[in-house]
A and B are shown apart, each in its own frame.
Chain A
Amino acid sequence: MATPMIDPALFDQLKDSIEKDSSIRKDLEQIIEELNQNVSYTQGVLTKIHSTPRSKYDALLSQVEGGIKKELETTKRLAEFASQYPYYKYNYKWGRTLQDAIATVLLCAWLGGMGSESKPGEVGRLLTLEEVGEVVRVPVNLKDRDAFHITIEEYLLALISVVEDLSRLAMNSVTLGDTELAVQISGFIKDLHGGFQMLNLKNDILRKRVDSVKYAVKKVEDVVYDLSLRNLIPAKEAQ
């Protein structure tokens, strides 16, 4: 054999690169798994909203905020770790989990939680992408540098989960005798639906999920219809 076809050093070089990549993925998976557990606990607490009258929201929401606090701690670790590597190389791994985490933050804030000194919580408040970034303490929609952040898609997908949850709440709030909340949810979802209609969607996951907003609209419209039929809509909303 004269000279070999492949430089012997090349093997170790490539092997190292593959092994390094695998170990990054393992570390990421560990953090994401932890975040997953934080998120599913918080989601679990949030399901209680469907059986809680509005007078008892405060206690429930502080429990939710406790869960969110844990989420944020884990997200902080994730952000620090992930920022060392090209963002879009691995972001598909945590995208789903992060969306769910954002959804808990959004829903909690809409129900009147996540208040701060400057902005007290109130029912019906929608956090913008920027505000979510402030809560989670990570940048959003980053373009000028390569680091961990929340993308527009993640925010929108989280928002869609919230819409679905609220459409369910509209029904349950009627059961609990809170027709005013149902009407408010109806208005909110319709407004958002109008917003989603403005997006130019490609044939991707976002389009699929945006479709579900239509069904949420239908669901709340049915509830409002039932209410108006029986003259149950509170006077000031009816005008």
Chain B
Amino acid sequence: MDEAPAPKRAKIVSEDASKPIENSTGNNMSGFKRDRHGNEKKFNNGPRPAPKPKVAVVRNAYTPMFEQLRDELDAHHDRRDRLGKASRDVTGLSKKIVRTINPDLPPQIQSEVDSRLAEISKLLATMAPDVQGINRYRYSRSLMCLEELAEALTFAHYLKTQTLLKPEELSAFVEDLTRKGAAVLGEKEKDNQDKDKDEPMPDAANVPVPPPSTEQQETTGKDSNNPVETEQQQQQPKLEPLIMSTTIDDYFYGVFDLSGEMMRFATTSTALTGKMAGAEDDERTIVEDMHELGSFFEMLPTKAGDKKQWEKKLDVMRQSVRKVERLGYDRKIRGSERPKGWVPDLTVDQPGEDEE
């Protein structure tokens, strides 16, 4: 039992090092049940249990009504599942971006970030049709990935400019990503209808129609009995690709998480370079930035809606601020005594939490 974690860890490392970045949901995504030896489970009646044969329902006066409602609900569940899957991928990729840009931003890292962003933009483009109009908030809970993406983007922005990205800039960036993704997908599907099947669209496999942007109609068309809507949706992709919008909540929670990343960055960069990260002129350091960000959120009123989550995030942010100011203090007092590579002991508040 003890051996289990070791290979897993090794695998993660090797995966990080390998250049070609693969989307975590390749084609082998569709799962099958395994027996306890890890082999595919065989079922008596075929490779997988056929979905339960629908009980022959004795039809009654209400059957048609329920049939209609069932179809509507199914469309809703499908959309939610699709978004959930894509969202997990975007989350994974965003987290990888954050891990990557953590040190500085040398060219090779920038290029890795770019390639991950390209993956993300394709995913966002596939998600966009499901979250138009009224459906944007309907599936907010399935779109947690946008927080992670906001975290990655605000962090990258901070590293480059030492300023905080604004909500409208974030929206514009994400919209832009979606547009690019839609363009790439459109082209890709035009060139090669059959080869290159490892595109990161797990759902596309279920959608048999390959021509560009019809997928968007597929998804929306399924649940529209309303001819007006279908028509509208069919025309839209041609004029302007559907975009993924971000909400103010995505921004807020992304920035909360940004504080944690800044703390990690401050810690590692101080350890590596022996000086506090900051602007070129060294007039302003990350300690001050953390204080500024901390006060910023302390002064904001608590956002109604999900007070608990807000307060939890605020608390985590407070801890990050404390850690960085402790770091600043340590460096001020005895920074010069420390050799390069010395990692400050930040375990006072949270023993064992700081293992890097």
A interface residues (Cβ-Cβ under 8 A, vs B): 1-7, 10-11, 13-15, 17-19, 21-22, 25, 86-89, 126, 128-129, 141-147, 152-153, 155-156, 191-192, 194-202, 206
Q: Of the candidates A6, A142, A152, A201, which one forms a contact with B134 in the assembled complex, judged by CB atoms under 8 Å apart?
A: A142
Whether B289 is near chain A, meaning CB under 8 Å from some CB there, is: yes
Structural contact, B134 and A3, CB atoms closer than 8 A:
no
How many Å lie between the Cα of A3 and that of B284 in the bound state? Answer: 9
Given contacts A143-B224, A145-B134, 12 further A-B contacts (CB under 8 A): A5-B164, A5-B288, A15-B300, A21-B304, A86-B134, A87-B137, A126-B62, A129-B65, A143-B134, A144-B232, A191-B60, A195-B65
How many Å lie between the Cα of A202 and that of B84 in the bound state? Answer: 14
Chain B residues whose C-beta falls within 8 Å of the C-beta of A201 in the assembled complex: 73
Q: Of the candidates A10, A11, A194, A198, which one forms a contact with B70 in the assembled complex, judged by CB atoms under 8 Å apart?
A: A198
> Residue of A at shortest CB range from B59?
A194
Chain A residues whose C-beta falls within 8 Å of the C-beta of B288 in the assembled complex: 1, 5
Chain A residues whose C-beta falls within 8 Å of the C-beta of B61 in the assembled complex: 191
> Residue of B at shortest CB range from A86?
B137
Structural contact, A195 and B248, CB atoms closer than 8 A:
no
Structural contact, A144 and B226, CB atoms closer than 8 A:
yes
Structural contact, A5 and B300, CB atoms closer than 8 A:
no
How many Å lie between the Cα of A18 and that of B247 in the bound state? Answer: 12
Q: Of the candidates A4, A15, A191, which one forms a contact with B62 in the assembled complex, judged by CB atoms under 8 Å apart?
A: A191
Chain B residues whose C-beta falls within 8 Å of the C-beta of A129 in the assembled complex: 65, 69
Structural contact, B66 and A198, CB atoms closer than 8 A:
yes
> Residue of A at shortest CB range from B133?
A146
Measured between C-beta atoms, what is the minimum distance from B146 to chain A in Å? 15
Given contacts A18-B301, A199-B70, contact A3 B62 (CB under 8 A): no
> Residue of A at shortest CB range from B233?
A144
Structural contact, A2 and B299, CB atoms closer than 8 A:
no
Given contacts A6-B164, A87-B137, A142-B134, contact A194 B57 (CB under 8 A): yes
Chain A residues whose C-beta falls within 8 Å of the C-beta of B70 in the assembled complex: 198-200
Structural contact, A194 and B63, CB atoms closer than 8 A:
yes
Chain B residues whose C-beta falls within 8 Å of the C-beta of A22 in the assembled complex: 301, 303-304
Q: Of the candidates B58, B73, B140, B163, which one forms a contact with A200 in the assembled complex, judged by CB atoms under 8 Å apart?
A: B73
Structural contact, B138 and A195, CB atoms closer than 8 A:
no
Structural contact, A195 and B134, CB atoms closer than 8 A:
no
Structural contact, A202 and B55, CB atoms closer than 8 A:
no
Whether B279 is near chain A, meaning CB under 8 Å from some CB there, is: yes
Structural contact, B304 and A144, CB atoms closer than 8 A:
no
Whether B194 is near chain A, meaning CB under 8 Å from some CB there, is: no
Whether B16 is near chain A, meaning CB under 8 Å from some CB there, is: no
Residues of B in contact (CB 8 Å), total: 55
Structural contact, A87 and B292, CB atoms closer than 8 A:
no
Whether B74 is near chain A, meaning CB under 8 Å from some CB there, is: yes
Measured between C-beta atoms, what is the minimum distance from B306 to chain A in Å? 11
How many Å lie between the Cα of A141 and that of B72 in the bound state? Answer: 9
Structural contact, B284 and A197, CB atoms closer than 8 A:
no
Structural contact, A21 and B69, CB atoms closer than 8 A:
no
Chain B residues whose C-beta falls within 8 Å of the C-beta of A195 in the assembled complex: 60, 62-63, 65-66
Given contacts A1-B284, A88-B137, A191-B60, contact A6 B229 (CB under 8 A): no
> Residue of B at shortest CB range from A7?
B166
Structural contact, B229 and A144, CB atoms closer than 8 A:
yes
How many Å lie between the Cα of A154 and that of B248 in the bound state? Answer: 27
Measured between C-beta atoms, what is the minimum distance from A28 to chain B in Å? 11
Structural contact, A143 and B301, CB atoms closer than 8 A:
no
Structural contact, B66 and A196, CB atoms closer than 8 A:
yes
Measured between C-beta atoms, what is the minimum distance from B305 to chain A in Å? 7
Whether B283 is near chain A, meaning CB under 8 Å from some CB there, is: yes
Chain A residues whose C-beta falls within 8 Å of the C-beta of B226 in the assembled complex: 143-144
Structural contact, B300 and A18, CB atoms closer than 8 A:
yes
Measured between C-beta atoms, what is the minimum distance from A230 to chain B in Å? 27
Please name the 9 residue pairs, one residue from A and one from B, whose CB atoms are nearest each other, closest first: A195-B66, A88-B137, A88-B138, A146-B134, A144-B229, A191-B60, A89-B137, A5-B289, A86-B137
How many Å lie between the Cα of A198 and that of B69 in the bound state? Answer: 10
Measured between C-beta atoms, what is the minimum distance from B124 to chain A in Å? 20
How many Å lie between the Cα of A174 and that of B319 in the bound state? Answer: 66
Structural contact, B164 and A7, CB atoms closer than 8 A:
yes
Given contacts A25-B304, A143-B224, contact A5 B134 (CB under 8 A): no
Structural contact, B279 and A2, CB atoms closer than 8 A:
yes
Given contacts A15-B300, A143-B223, A196-B66, contact A7 B163 (CB under 8 A): yes
Query: B104-138 vs A: 1/0 string, CB under 8 Å?
Result: 00000000000000000000000000000111111
Measured between C-beta atoms, what is the minimum distance from A201 to chain B in Å? 8
Measured between C-beta atoms, what is the minimum distance from B129 to chain A in Å? 13
Structural contact, B301 and A15, CB atoms closer than 8 A:
yes
